[in-house]
Structure 1
């Protein structure tokens, strides 16, 4: 009998889905555009403020996990769970849920990663610090390279502990996101 991902504990999942970084691959932009078309076809446009490619795969100059991160901003007043339910019925898996954020994934299989892997982050409009961080790294290659160096240093140390890997990057991300928000002001607000 084959186990389901939902039956596995965190340690088993981290072993099955280790952190893996690779040089930038132009196909990630194509994967984003393909997934964007799917999302636009299945999500009600009157509820969605913006859908954006975020994360390291959106930055041409740095290594990244081959996972395309997508931010879906929902117009304030609508239920995030409504959007998540649509996506779950289309094959996405809910990874994490809080009052103002829901994360889903696609491409996690019982035998490991599929060829194309996606993380969807659903938030309310204006809850989009990732856009500021992305833009800052795109426009400041030297800072992007510092971020890449940090990620490469953390990769092997936390290969099988995604939470620790993410936590170890947090101070860097917060620092440069604040600088970006001050510089770009209300670019995405």
Structure 2
């Protein structure tokens, strides 16, 4: 097999470097628009709740300019139909064997070969749902925690600019500290 041909099938956005941007008040409104669109697109599959999470949902926090969302669904059973529906709205499905997080199904919204949003689709009752909400809410209400997280993210983004997986893993200690205090 010719690996160079295989490599060309991997989308450009899969190798995007990590860039932390200054807080943008427009992220809130982009989150609202994405949530509203996803509520409409996914309502046929029983989705009743879509949340804007992640750093772009926290006022005054530096972040990658990617709107992170999550949706709760009664069952992951109709995944193929969901992926078809989302694909026509610029969402790309990342299979679990690539995502390596079996508790969710992951989608990336892309425009001009750049990520603009992420969607974590989770079965109702998934414990990580509550953890993500708790983390977001603690940072929204505690500016010291938000500032500390911003500094950690900026440092890690420089250190792991081309390695999203290590960047994400390196934030785990801080996230666990926030969740368990």
- Normalised by the length of structure 1, the TM-score is 0.78
1:136-147 counterparts in 2 under 5 A? 136-147=138-149
- Following TM superposition, the consecutive aligned residue runs of length 4 or more in structure 1 with deviations greater than 6 angstroms are 3-6
2:159 counterpart of 1:157:
yes
> Equivalent residue of 2:179, what SS?
helix
Whether the 8 Å contact between 2:90 and 2:111 is mirrored in structure 1 is no
User: Matched residue pairs, number?
Assistant: 169
2:19/2:64 contact within 8 Å kept: yes
Match of 2:56 in 1: 57
Report matched runs for 1:1-189 at 5 Å: 7-8=9-10, 13-14=14-15, 17-44=16-43, 47-75=46-74, 77=75, 79=77, 81=79, 82-97=81-96, 99-107=102-110, 109=112, 112-113=113-114, 117-127=116-126, 128=129, 129-179=131-181
Indicate if the aligned counterparts of 1:47 and 1:74 stay in contact, CA closer than 8 A: yes
**Aligned Cα root-mean-square deviation (Å):** 2.6
When residues 78 and 162 of structure 1 are mapped into structure 2, their CA distance, relative to the original with a 3 A threshold, is closer
- Contiguous gaps of at least 5 residues in structure 1: 180-189
The two structures have a TM-score, normalised by structure 2, of 0.81
Question: Does the 8 Å CA contact 2:90/2:110 hold for their aligned counterparts?
Answer: no
- Residues in 2 aligned to 1:142 and 1:131: alpha-carbon distance in whole angstroms: 18
